[in-house]
Structure formats: C-alpha cells, structure tokens
C-alpha cells in the first residue's frame, strides 16, 4: 500500500501530521493508498511559500504564463490515458467516462491559453477635459481551490487553470478520496514550466480547509462540493473578508412533454440518470413526464433500457455503463434512501439494492433503480441521492411541472424534451435554474461559456470558468488620469530652472 504525499514547492513531500485518510478502490473495497491530512501549520507554511512564488509569477507577462498553459494542455493530451486511469482507479468511473472527465477540464485549460486577451483592461479617452480613464485586472495573490470527489480531473482543472493564468498562486485541496490525479496534474504543470510554489497541492480534511479559510494571505476560495459544506465555507470565507464562490449539490429535473420523442428522452434519461453511477452534480435524478400517456410510455421505454445496463469495475472493459459508488457509506446511504422511497409509498420499478458482482463482492455497486409515482414530500425527492436512482414525478400539465422545478431548493441544471420551440423557449426563460438543456440532458456549458447553478446549488457571485473566472481571479483597478496642458506651440530655448 502506497503512502501518498503533498506537492509543495515543486516536489512530492510526505505529510508530517501522522494523520491519514484511506484511499479506497471502490470496485474491490480494498484500501489502495493512504493520503496524508495536513495540519494547520503545514497548510500555513505552504501558503507562505506560495505567496513568495506568486510575486515572480505575477510579474511574468501574461503571454508567457499562457505559454505554460499551452504546454500543459499538450502534456494532458499526451498523458490522457494515464490521467484517465488515475481517475478511474480512485473514483471507479469507467475509462471512457474518465477520459471525458479529463477532456472537460482540458477544455478550460485551452480557453486559458487566451488569458492575455481576457485580462485586457478598459479605456475611456477624454472622459473629461484632459482626463482619461483606464482599468486593469490584477491578480489577487494566493487563492484556494477545494474540490469534490466526483470529477477528480475536471474540477481541479476548472480551478487551477484560470487562477494560475491570471497570475495567482493556488493552494489546491483536492478530495481526500481521489488525491492522485491532482498530484499528477501538479507534476505536469511543473514540466510545462510553472515555477515551483505557484501551485501547491495540500491534502487534508476539515482541519486543512479551516486553515485555508482562516489564513489572511488567502484572497479567494473556489469550492465545489455538497451544499452544507458549500454554505459553511462561503460563510466562513466571507466573514474573514475573502472572495468566495461555493458550488453545492443538485436535484436536476427533466420535463418530458407529450410531444417529445419518447425514445430519445428515455435514452437520454438512462445516460444522464445512471452514468457515473449518478454521481454527477448535473445528473438527471427526477423525470417529470407531463400527462399519463407520456408517463406510461416513458416508463415502458425505460425498463428495457435499464435492464440492459452493465454495472462493473472499470477494468472489465469499455462496454461497462457505470461503476461503483465512492464509499461503503455512500452505498449504505443510497440503499437507505431507496428503502425510504418504498416505505413512503413510491412505486419501485427496478430495484438496485443488494447488487453483488462475482469477484467484486466487496465493491460498492448499486444497481440502476427506477421509481414511479414519486411525490414532492418524499425523502427520495427532497434529498440529493447522488447514486443511480431515478425518480419519476408525474404531472398533469406543463405549468405544474414547471412549478415543481421552480419550487425545488436546488437550481443547478434542468432539461426539457419537447418538439415545440415555444414551450422550450418559455421553459428556458421562466425556470429559476442556472443551466438549461433543450432536448439535451446534461447541459454543462462549453468552456468559453460559464458554469454555475442557482438557489442552494451555488453561494457567492460569478460562475466557474469562461469569462466569469477571469473576473473572479482578478481585481479591477481603475485609474483616472489627468495631464495638464503643456507646451505644444513650439520649443523653449532659454535655459530655465524648473519652477
Ligand atoms: P463534500 O462536500 O463532502 O466535499 C467537498 C470538499 O470539501 C472535499 O475537498 C472535502 O475534503 C471538503 N470537506 C468535506 N467536509 C468538510 C467539512 N466539514 N469542512 C470543511 N471541508 C470539508 O462533497 P463530495 O462528496 O466530495 O462531492 C459531492 C458533492 O459535490 C455533491 O453534493 C455534488 O452535487 C457536489 N458537486 C457540485 C458541483 C457543482 O458545480 N455545483 C460539481 C460537482 C459536485
């Protein structure tokens, strides 16, 4: 079993706290490594060193910083298979899905190759007599990224690429469940030319996070994870005067209108509901068919598709549809929520509880689970299950379906399947959710747009990546400049003292 490290000042460094967290293989239940959990002192020391390194990095011109991103992007491409394997080994997702995880992070690196353009300021010529105004975007200093387990490559890349290309140093605190991808990305960044100390990967748990939140040098915190922790981090960071954007959990609904192509909707729901074992913040976890015929037709189409799904370890080949959930606790929680759905009166159409795979009996596999007749007061509707469980809430009409989505506490993503442009347009306009798909199940925006939810899915201002990220990771300075009228009418030839 391997003891993992931190990555500090360009080197893998052993932890000194004596505290570790087990890194599991979710497919087998084995402990495959231990990750050190940093103390407050270790974190403070890493931040202090990052502050030194940041001065030189901020003084490096933006184009040179962008060239580091260019090389980094090339190295990610060259090492795609290794990165995907690291993701799959600790997270459990399939290799094609793991490559997608890396790819959607790489796309943010690609946008950051154009950072100099995004960092240009504004200029007003002659805003008053002899007065010009200009603004510049300056790096914040040392910023922190705190990331969840479910996208071991993508979300750390969403944090580090914009933060670094803006001239900041970053402390990355990855999820203790999946630390190896971040450690390897840090090595690739060094190879790409990032100076030592500009990216510090410090592993840890609450102690390390609290050290970040209370450290005066840290200027901004970008968090992604569950809603209670997002809200906590947002509050503590804000109290300590830091800029914070904290993205939380989700409960994403898909409306299926009577005019929708039900086969396409069922295909989309199977992928968006069960892909990555439902452990995506943009997973569709609630299907909302409008009208009885739509609902019956949808369930009828979902059942054979669900029965065909292959659940297994990533090592079993590329035709596996999804892998295990992340921990035994996650499996027990998901199965407990399925129990509650049955107890509270939902119809269990397919039951994923108690799945045991030959040779992987200790893995944390949960079979695809479909509920019908779910109502808004049930726990399976109210809670973010974060597992392969799809709930169907039947609605009589479009307005009720729309209101269901609007009344839900979360507002990360949503989708509508319809053949009617006017309905789609009305939905996109009126729904209070940050990312909307029209005949598109998982509407994660491309990297030159921005990603962010509404309501309890995000705390703070500005979205992740895209133009918002360059705003979040810089502060604006605006200069009002006046030059008094001088000598323009001809030279002065007398030798004069200054007066
Ligand atoms: P989590 O909240 O348990 O952990 C996220 C991070 O917070 C980790 O780095 C963890 O070490 C740290 N952390 C955990 N408990 C803490 C505490 N008490 N104090 C300080 N720090 C703490 O989330 P997770 O289980 O790793 O990830 C799954 C969650 O993330 C889901 O709710 C999912 O919807 C959400 N998520 C949201 C988005 C988004 O963009 N909105 C994207 C991906 C995942």
pLDDT in tens, 25-38: 999 999 999 999 99
> Which CATH class for the 252-438 domain?
alpha beta
Same fold, 2-248+457-479 and 252-438: no
pLDDT for position 495:
74
Asked whether 149 lines ligand 1 (CB < 6 A), one says yes
| pLDDT, average across residues 44-57 | 98
Q: What is the dihedral of CA 121, 125, 129, 134, to 10 degrees?
A: 10
pLDDT band at 484 (very low <50, low <70, confident <90, very high): confident
| pLDDT, average across residues 152-165 | 98
User: 350 or 483: which carries more pLDDT confidence?
Assistant: 350
Mean pLDDT (the chain, rounded): 97
d(CA 42, CA 17): 8
The pTM of the full predicted model, rounded to 2 decimals, is: 0.96
Short-list 242, 176, 134, CA closest to 38: 176
Please list, in sequence order, all residues whose beta carbon lies within 8 angstroms of the beta carbon of residue 381, skipping any fewer than 6 positions away: 251, 286, 374, 375, 391, 393
Ligand 1, residues 229, 234, 251, 331: which to mutate, most atoms within 8 A of Cβ? 229
Over its C-alpha atoms, the chain yields an Rg (Å, rounded) of 25
Output the CA 150–ligand 1 centroid distance in Å. 9
Output the CA 100–ligand 1 centroid distance in Å. 20
Short-list 327, 236, 434, CA closest to 24: 327
| pLDDT, average across residues 38-47 | 98
How many CB atoms neighbour CB 68 within 10 A? 22
**pLDDT value at 499 more than 60:** no
Asked whether 148 lines ligand 1 (CB < 6 A), one says yes
Output the CA 247–ligand 1 centroid distance in Å. 9
Asked whether 398 lines ligand 1 (CB < 6 A), one says no
pLDDT for position 496:
65
Instruction: Give, as one character, the DSSP assignment of residue 444.
Output: P
2-248+457-479: CATH topology is Aldehyde Dehydrogenase; Chain A, domain 1 (3.40.605)
Active site residue 281: yes
d(CA 19, CA 3): 11
Q: Where are the domains of the chain?
A: 2-248+457-479, 252-438
pLDDT band at 498 (very low <50, low <70, confident <90, very high): low
**pLDDT value at 7 more than 80:** yes
pLDDT for position 493:
72
**pLDDT tens readout for residues 192-227:** 999 999 999 999 999 999 999 999 999 999 999 999
**pLDDT value at 485 more than 80:** no
State which H helix or E strand residue 222 sits in: strand 218-224
ipTM of predicted assembly, 2 dp: 0.99
Residue 247: strand pairing partners: 224, 458
């Amino acid at each position: 079993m391997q003891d993992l490290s931190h990555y500090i000042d360009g080197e893998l460094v052993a932890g000194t706290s004596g505290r570790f967290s087990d890194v599991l293989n979710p497919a087998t239940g084995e402990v495959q490594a231990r990750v050190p959990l940093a103390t407050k002192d270790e974190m403070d020391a890493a931040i202090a060193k990052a502050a030194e390194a940041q001065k030189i990095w901020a003084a490096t011109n933006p184009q040179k910083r962008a060239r580091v991103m260019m090389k980094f992007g090339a190295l990610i491409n060259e090492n795609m298979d290794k990165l995907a394997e690291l993701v799959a080994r600790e997270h459990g997702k399939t290799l094609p899905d793991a490559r997608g995880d890396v790819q959607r992070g790489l796309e943010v690196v690609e946008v950051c190759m154009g950072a100099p353009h995004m960092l240009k300021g504004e200029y007003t010529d002659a805003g008053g007599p002899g007065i010009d105004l200009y603004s510049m975007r300056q790096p914040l200093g040392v910023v922190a990224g705190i990331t969840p387990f479910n996208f071991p490559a993508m979300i750390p890349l969403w944090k580090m690429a914009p933060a670094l290309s803006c001239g900041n140093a970053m402390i990355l605190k990855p999820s203790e469940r999946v630390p190896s991808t971040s450690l390897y990305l840090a090595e690739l960044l060094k190879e790409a030319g990032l100076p030592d100390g500009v990216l510090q990967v410090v592993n840890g748990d609450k102690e390390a996070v609290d050290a970040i939140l209370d450290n005066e040098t840290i200027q901004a915190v970008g968090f992604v994870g569950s809603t209670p922790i997002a809200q906590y981090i947002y509050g503590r960071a804000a109290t300590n005067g830091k800029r914070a954007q904290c993205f939380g959990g989700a409960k994403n609904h898909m409306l299926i209108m009577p005019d929708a192509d039900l086969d396409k909707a069922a295909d989309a729901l199977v992928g968006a509901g069960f892909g990555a074992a439902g452990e995506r913040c943009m997973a569709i976890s609630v299907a909302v068919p409008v009208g009885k015929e739509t609902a019956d037709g949808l369930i009828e189409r979902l059942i054979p598709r669900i029965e065909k799904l292959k659940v297994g370890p990533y090592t079993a080949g590329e035709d596996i549809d999804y892998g295990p959930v992340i921990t035994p606790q996650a499996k027990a929680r998901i199965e407990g929520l399925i129990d509650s759905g049955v107890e509270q009166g939902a119809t269990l159409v397919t039951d994923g509880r108690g799945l045991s795979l030959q040779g992987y009996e200790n893995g944390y596999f949960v079979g695809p689970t479909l509920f019908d007749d779910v109502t808004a007061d049930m726990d399976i509707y109210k809670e973010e299950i974060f597992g392969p469980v799809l709930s169907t809430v039947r609605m009589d009409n479009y307005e009720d379906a729309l209101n269901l989505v609007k009344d839900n506490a979360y507002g990360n993503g949503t989708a509508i399947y319809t053949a009617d442009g006017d309905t789609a347009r009305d939905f996109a306009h009126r729904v209070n959710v940050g990312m909307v798909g029209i005949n598109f199940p998982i509407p994660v925006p491309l990297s030159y747009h921005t990603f962010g939810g509404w309501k309890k899915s995000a705390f703070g201002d500005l979205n992740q990546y895209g133009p918002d990220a360059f705003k979040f990771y810089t502060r604006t300075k605006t200069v009002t400049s006046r030059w008094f009228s001088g000598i323009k009418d001809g030279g002065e030839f007398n030798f004069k003292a200054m007066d």
